[in-house]
Amino acid sequence: MIDYRPVGGAMLLAEPLVVRFDALLGEPAAGRALERLDRELDWQRPRLRLYGREHPIPRRQVWMGDTEARYRYSGSDFSPETWHPEASRLRDAVIARLAAAGIRADFNSVLLNRYAGGEERMGWHGDDEPELGPDPLVAAVSLGAERPLRFRWKKRDGEAFNAWLPHDSLLLMGPGVQRRLQHALLPRRIPGLRISLTFRRIIP
Ligand SMILES: O=C(O)CCC(=O)C(=O)O
Ligand SMILES: [Fe+2]
């Protein structure tokens, strides 16, 4: 259990903890972060093998972090890009906002996802890669179009729910969330660019 003080956040789930905080950077900083990350990153659309066939992923992404935060994914070893100043500014703001709510967190890497419009998406998964350890804390910052992150229980013993993620919001997925739930960014008829940054701590 983590000792959570509800300071300026909306609790979406108490156990395991899912909380949303709003106005992480404020304006104009948040708008500028969206614009710079969109323009200045080398956005990739890797191909993934699924049921023996290769498909380009339905979004773009960049993996970023400290040099020792290496990551294995689909059998390949990835080295992170070095921190972009907007990504490290967001990381520091996330750590500070969580600290103010009594949650101690430290992140050495981030997966940035770029969804050009409502048709771009991410399928059902848990952020449960072994390099994150048994009970990771994952913090997701949203910039741009507001879309829902859908959650469902792995054992189907509770109701699925949406976490709506407005521009400049932070969603904390606490210990146990990746073990007990899955999440997905489903396609929706919601136009507009959205960039998310999911901060993690890789145990090197
Ligand atoms: O775009 C989002 O908000 C979700 C991203 C996500 O689930 C991930 O990066 O693992
Ligand atoms: Fe995820």
Per domain, the residue ranges of the chain are 16-42+53-200
What is the number of the ligand closest to the CA of 112?
A: 1
Among 69-83, 90-104, 124-138, name the one with the lowest average pLDDT.
Answer: 69-83
DSSP character at residue 24: S
May I ask the CATH architecture of the domain 16-42+53-200?
A: Sandwich (2.60)
pLDDT in tens, 4-21: 555 667 999 999 999 999
What is the number of the ligand closest to the CA of 59?
A: 1
C-alpha 179 – ligand 2 centre gap (Å): 12
Q: Which ligand 1 atom is the nearest neighbour of the CA of 149? A: 3
Which pLDDT band, with edges at 50, 70 and 90, does 196 fall under? very high
Please report where in the chains the tokens 């710079």 appear, as a residue. Answer: 36
Q: Own/partner pairs for 186-189, CB < 8 Å, 24+ apart?
A: 186/121, 186/148, 186/150, 187/118, 187/119, 187/120, 187/121, 188/118, 188/147, 188/148, 189/118
C-alpha 65 – ligand 2 centre gap (Å): 17
- For ligand 1, atom 1: residue with the closest CA: 196
Q: Which residues line ligand 1 (CB under 6 A)?
A: 111, 113, 122, 127, 140, 149, 183, 185, 196, 198
Asked if the model's pLDDT at residue 155 lies above 80, the reply is yes
pLDDT in tens, 32-65: 999 999 999 999 998 888 788 889 999 999 999 9
Could you tell me if 110 and 87 are in contact, meaning their C-beta atoms sit under 8 angstroms apart?
A: yes
Strand segments (E) across the chain = 9-13, 18-21, 47-50, 53-56, 60-65, 71-73, 76-78, 109-115, 122-125, 138-144, 147-153, 161-165, 169-173, 181-185, 194-200
